[in-house]
Structure 1
């Protein structure tokens, strides 16, 4: 109802503006006709009907945005975890989401990467938060500390050491040499 009222007001203001423009330019058009300008070579400007203002504008459908945005967030989290540091932002990431992602910890990224798309979508829209992840809000950029390196395997010496040990011992069909 309120939208229709505002639409009617906007249509009336546009009509008034067109009328005022025609009145303001009438002396110039008359002078142009007297001086011989605007001959048959120049086509007249097309008339715009009043019905053109009444065409309803279609609002953009945000369904695709809400389906793609959680997938982009999950992909960013996975890319960051693989890289061991925060990945670069996708080009169409909204600023508010980018300001939030820059402040997430490694554990929060793991939680988002392991969640399903619906849960991440609900978290972004602040309906139902993913456990262990702060709500969407501007956060200070956080540099992840390097992951502790894994200790090298101290088990067997490997294939070559087994061969070297086998070369020193003499084996026969009856058993080891005395």
Structure 2
């Protein structure tokens, strides 16, 4: 299923849920079921689905795998792409995805193992370029409330703000590597 290309990049946000070595299919199908309870669905396939929260907010979820080299493991991802002019709708979708995945993990899986493996966030283009891999800004920390992301610092390099859209700034430089 291809996503809708929108000419206004300010309305598109992409987040990834990275489960490391854990196969995302175990969570993805349960996530589809939870989304169907809350959102209107347009299309559902075994590895992708399209939902709506309103007429002006559309989001896609799908599975992705990044194959590791000989020294690293494959990364199993769930990609969430939200297309909406309203930042509150984008944050609402992200909050729901985090809540749903936490509920699935708490109910069906070994919580300690997943907590060590699982991260969620947008891609940092600077860190990804410097490390030559996809680096996520982890928005999830123990006790973190996703609704209070203003000036949230997930690590020493990144700052997350909510202005016209979710913004990630990276302070990492070539000479710090």
Q: The TM-score by the shorter chain falls in which range? A: under 0.3
Larger Rg: 1
Higher relative contact order (CA 8 A, sep 6+): 2
Q: TM-score, normalised by structure 1?
A: 0.20
- Kindly indicate which of the two structures has a greater share of residues assigned to helix: 1
